[in-house]
Amino acid sequence: MNPSAPGKQVLLLGLGNDILADDSIGLRVVQILRERRPPDPRLDFIDTCEMGLSLLDFIEGYRQVLLVDAVQTRQAPPGFIHEINVADLPTLPQYSPHFLGVGEVMALGRLLGLAMPEKFRIYAVEVADPFTVKTELTPIMEQALPGVLAHLDNALTEALKD
Amino acid sequence: MNPSAQKVWNEANQKANQGRRFTIDPITRLEGHGKIDIFLDAKGDVERAYLQIPELRGFEVFSLGRPAEEMPQITSRICGVCPTAHHMAATKALDDLYKVEPASAARKIRELVYNTFVMEDHALHVYVLGGPDFIVGPEAPPELRNIVGVIQKVGLEMGKTVISMRRRLREMIAYFGGKVIHPVMGLPGGVAKGLNPSDLGRFKELARDNQGFAATTLQVFKDIVLKNPEYVKMITSDGYTHKTHYMGLVDKNNKVNFYDGLIRVVDPTGKEFAKFPVQQYRDYVGEHVEPWSYIKFCYLKPLGWTGFDEGPKSSVYAVAPLARLNAADGMATPKAQKAYEEFYKTLGGKPVHHTLANHYARVVEMVYAAERIEELLNDPEIVSKEIRTIPTQKPTVGIGVVEAPRGTLFHHFETDDNGIVTKANLIVATQNNASRIAMSVDKAAKSLIHNGQVTEGLMNKVEMAFRAYDPCFGCATHTLPGHTPLWVRIFDPQRQLVQELIRG
């Protein structure tokens, strides 16, 4: 799954759980944009339910990674996209060290001498219900989906110009 | 809520929100947030503190009307942390549902895959999740208490070995089941794919390397943890000790087994309290609900709910690595048996009641898993093509059990004559452990809160109390801010929220 061939530069990586209602938003965005966008040899799409250390296997070798995931802050309306540059994330946690986040995965990869992305941006989509076991989005997320797709579609176009 | 309580709540809420660090790391979902509710009595001392274990909504509704054969796939999709454990428990429930004995080679393949999963998951915890506490050290500066600090301590080469062993072990799981996260392997009476003899060589090579990895891990743990008197003192300290019952699967010789066997329960003196097949779990496992809470606290049904108490009369039990070692008479393989004996010698005899000993017990189990993987690959039957017994019986009720890395996992399905699910129930490891986790959190809170005054250090101490169990909140985080946020709510005797502490 890791690209060693030159030319594969940008990865759109969607995380989430496909049977936990809105938690699937990251997976859906990747699946839909994969179909919708014209094929581009520089661009790869991965949608996965894995997380933590497994991220290392996915991101290794890419120059740029755009990650889409669900988040619930209750401080923004469903569909709102919190954008974060991984460079701004704490790579070495001061508080609880007991899991691996994106910052730590990047730090670990570099320490082990693996090729880590130069650019890594997270698009955390505010969701309404990520806890109910079902395969459908909530109606409010369904409404917000086109906006989220347009946002990520543009972000990909910009990333490819880079 | 009355107006004055509302005012207090608003102020506390506002204050808590001011303190939030607005960073997002969605990968935090892995470990989840710890949500702790503390109830004060009239004097302002702690009446009771609880860790809230987030509940998955709608699982039964989602399962109803679906073919039972889908359950190994569906349940493995619920949780990204333990997919193989759910897949295997549901597969075994299907065997039971159709009253079919899995083909002998299929049973061995399942056990091989299962031990590989436990090995990989335990390695992740020893080095990545528990490592910062035990390998780097609880007193180490925060900037070193992370995976990078672990690698500095164990060496870059060991760090690379951890990552590469994990990858290779996962490749073997994927060989049999496709994606690790969504395995498609277990069928009632067998497995979907056998082992091609031409692939055996590379897996045997992996098994040999893996044995070396397990041996090195045991040595690393001894050198860094056990040779440090401060660590041993912390492990054996009263604050992290509870005398409860213990539960785990055992084979016919009462040795630890992750995949199959009878469920054995020992009392706080180590004496056998019960031994039963999973089909009788309803007779032994009760679920108690506190009136104010949605959490279900598991207890030993024959003893009745005795409250959050320890000792011989208490019906509280624990699961997970330490409980498994306590509930068994030993390990079924030679190196693991040696490590098992050393474990009890080091910690003062059996049973061990120190929650933090789970980390050490996990390493003993890694030694066993590594040996068992090699044994199974050396068994000529592992490449047999006879991997399925076709079920012929009408389905009714199917109950399955495995030892997930975090403890005993029950799956229970009932169907109509066509195998369509009419009832579904899961009891996951963290639920089995919920009562004892609550006791640990309570003990920490009681020592730190007096006369309504919350002392500093509450967060750390409380967090350590529940982290030792490695409770899995796999499906329930989605909170900003970033790092395993801890959310403590304090209620007055009228059950009004008076203080809220959020640390991200």
Is the pLDDT reported for residue B8 higher than 60?
Answer: no
Q: Judge whether B45 lies within some domain.
A: yes
What pLDDT does residue B361 have?
Answer: 96
Q: What is the pLDDT of residues B169-209, one digit of tens each?
A: 999 999 998 876 678 899 999 999 999 999 999 999 999 99
Q: Judge whether B294 lies within some domain.
A: no
Yes or no, beta carbons of B476 and A88 under 8 Å apart? no
B45 lies in the same domain as B112: no
Which are the contacts of B14, defined by CB distance < 8 A and separation ≥ 6?
Answer: none
B362 lies in the same domain as B220: yes
CATH superfamily of A10-161: HybD-like (3.40.50.1450)
Cβ–Cβ contact B156 with A under 8 A = yes
Instruction: Among B290-299, B300-309, B335-344, B484-493, name the one with the lowest average pLDDT.
Output: B484-493
Mark which of B390, B418, B453 sits at the end of a domain.
Answer: B390
Q: How confident is residue B25, by pLDDT bands cut at 50, 70 and 90? A: very low
Q: Judge whether B52 lies within some domain.
A: yes
Pairing of strands B453-454, B486-491: unpaired
Average pLDDT of the segment spanning B163-173: 93
B382 lies in the same domain as B449: no
Closest residue of chain A to B146, computed from CA coordinates: A97
Q: Judge whether B208 lies within some domain.
A: yes
| Through-space distance between the first and last CA atoms of chain A, rounded to whole angstroms | 23
What pLDDT does residue A89 have?
Answer: 64
Average pLDDT of the segment spanning B292-311: 87
Average pLDDT of the segment spanning B77-96: 88
Give the pair of three-digit tokens for residue B225: 């943890």
Is the pLDDT reported for residue B217 higher than 60?
Answer: yes
Q: What is the pLDDT of residues B99-135, one digit of tens each?
A: 999 999 999 999 999 999 999 999 988 888 777 777 8
| Through-space distance between the first and last CA atoms of chain B, rounded to whole angstroms | 27
Cβ–Cβ contact B31 with A under 8 A = yes
Contacting residues of B for A85, CB less than 8 Å apart: none
Average pLDDT of the segment spanning A40-55: 86
Q: How confident is residue B482, by pLDDT bands cut at 50, 70 and 90? A: very low
Half-sphere exposure of B6 (CA within 13 A, CB side): 3
B28 lies in the same domain as B127: no
B141 lies in the same domain as B194: yes
B118 lies in the same domain as B212: yes
B109 lies in the same domain as B233: yes
Q: Judge whether B268 lies within some domain.
A: no
pLDDT averaged over chain B?
Answer: 84
Closest residue of chain B to A108, computed from CA coordinates: B148
Task: Write down the H helix ranges in B155-289.
Answer: 156-177, 197-221, 229-235, 281-284
Contacting residues of B for A71, CB less than 8 Å apart: 24, 26, 478-480
Q: Judge whether B92 lies within some domain.
A: no
Q: What is the pLDDT of residues B68-79, one digit of tens each?
A: 999 999 888 876
Q: Judge whether B85 lies within some domain.
A: no
Q: How confident is residue A14, by pLDDT bands cut at 50, 70 and 90? A: very high
B10 lies in the same domain as B144: no
- B176: domain CATH number is 1.10.645.10
Q: How confident is residue B470, by pLDDT bands cut at 50, 70 and 90? A: confident
* AA letter at B31: E
Of A17, A112, A122, the CB nearest to B160: A112
B110 lies in the same domain as B233: yes
Average pLDDT of the segment spanning A20-36: 94
Query: Count of A–B CB contacts within 8 Å?
Result: 165
Q: Judge whether B289 lies within some domain.
A: no
Task: State the ipTM, two decimals.
Answer: 0.83
* Cis amide leading into B481 (omega within 30): yes
Closest residue of chain A to B27, computed from CA coordinates: A101
Q: B333 φ, ψ to 5°?
A: -120, 155
Of B130, B142, B480, the CB nearest to A73: B480
Cβ–Cβ contact B503 with A under 8 A = yes
Mark which of B339, B371, B390 sits at the end of a domain.
Answer: B390
| Count of other CB atoms within 10 angstroms of residue B486 | 21
B381 lies in the same domain as B440: no
Of B29, B147, B182, the CB nearest to A51: B29
- Structural domain that includes position B18: 3-56+433-503
Q: How confident is residue B293, by pLDDT bands cut at 50, 70 and 90? A: low
Closest Cα to residue B428, out of B37, B170, B56, B52?
Answer: B56
Yes or no, beta carbons of B142 and A90 under 8 Å apart? no
Q: What is the pLDDT of residues A113-133, one digit of tens each?
A: 999 999 999 898 988 888 788
How many residues are present in chain B?
A: 504
What pLDDT does residue B292 have?
Answer: 61
In chain A, where are the structural domains located? 10-161
Is the pLDDT reported for residue B214 higher than 80?
Answer: yes
| Count of other CB atoms within 10 angstroms of residue B200 | 14
Cβ–Cβ contact A57 with B under 8 A = yes
Cβ–Cβ contact A18 with B under 8 A = yes
Yes or no, beta carbons of B27 and A102 under 8 Å apart? yes
Average pLDDT of the segment spanning B409-424: 95
Three-state SS annotation for chain A: CCCCCCCCCEEEEEECCCCEHHHHHHHHHHHHHHHHCCCCCCEEEEEECCCHHHHHHHHCCCCEEEEEEEECCCCCCCCCEEEEEHHHCCCCCCCCCCCCCHHHHHHHHHHCCCCCCCEEEEEEEECCCCCECECCCCHHHHHHHHHHHHHHHHHHHHHHHC
Give the pair of three-digit tokens for residue A112: 């082990």
> Cα(B28)–Cα(A97) distance, rounded to whole angstroms?
11
Cβ–Cβ contact A48 with B under 8 A = yes
Average pLDDT of the segment spanning A16-44: 93
What pLDDT does residue A4 have?
Answer: 47
Yes or no, beta carbons of A100 and B128 under 8 Å apart? yes
Token pair 């490449």: residue: B383
B496 lies in the same domain as B440: yes
Q: A152 φ, ψ to 5°?
A: -70, -35
Q: How confident is residue B460, by pLDDT bands cut at 50, 70 and 90? A: low
Closest Cα to residue B113, out of B176, B200, B187, B201?
Answer: B176
pLDDT averaged over chain A?
Answer: 84
> Rounded to a whole number, what is the distance in Å from the CA of B149 to chain A's nearest CA?
9
Q: Is the dihedral of CA B237, B240, B244, B246 positive or negative?
A: negative
> Cα(A95)–Cα(B348) distance, rounded to whole angstroms?
33
> Cα(B261)–Cα(B317) distance, rounded to whole angstroms?
19
Is the pLDDT reported for residue A143 higher than 60?
Answer: yes
B231 lies in the same domain as B169: yes
More confident residue, B44 or B90: B90
Q: How confident is residue B492, by pLDDT bands cut at 50, 70 and 90? A: confident
Is the pLDDT reported for residue B146 higher than 80?
Answer: no
- Chain A interface mutation, best of B17, B25, B35, highest count of A Cβ atoms under 10 Å: B25
* AA letter at B428: V
The top-scoring range by mean pLDDT among A100-109, B20-29, B73-82, B221-230 is B221-230
Restricting to A residues 74-113, those with a Cβ less than 8 Å away from any Cβ of B are 75, 82, 84, 88-90, 92-105, 107-108, 111-112
Give this prediction's pTM.
0.87
- Chain B interface mutation, best of A133, A134, A138, highest count of B Cβ atoms under 10 Å: A133
Q: What total of structural domains would you count in chain B?
A: 2
Q: What is the pLDDT of residues A85-110, one digit of tens each?
A: 877 765 544 333 345 667 778 888 88
Closest residue of chain B to A86, computed from CA coordinates: B25
Half-sphere exposure of A37 (CA within 13 A, CB side): 23
Closest Cα to residue B96, out of B275, B252, B281?
Answer: B281
- Do A28 and A17 touch, CB atoms closer than 8 A? no
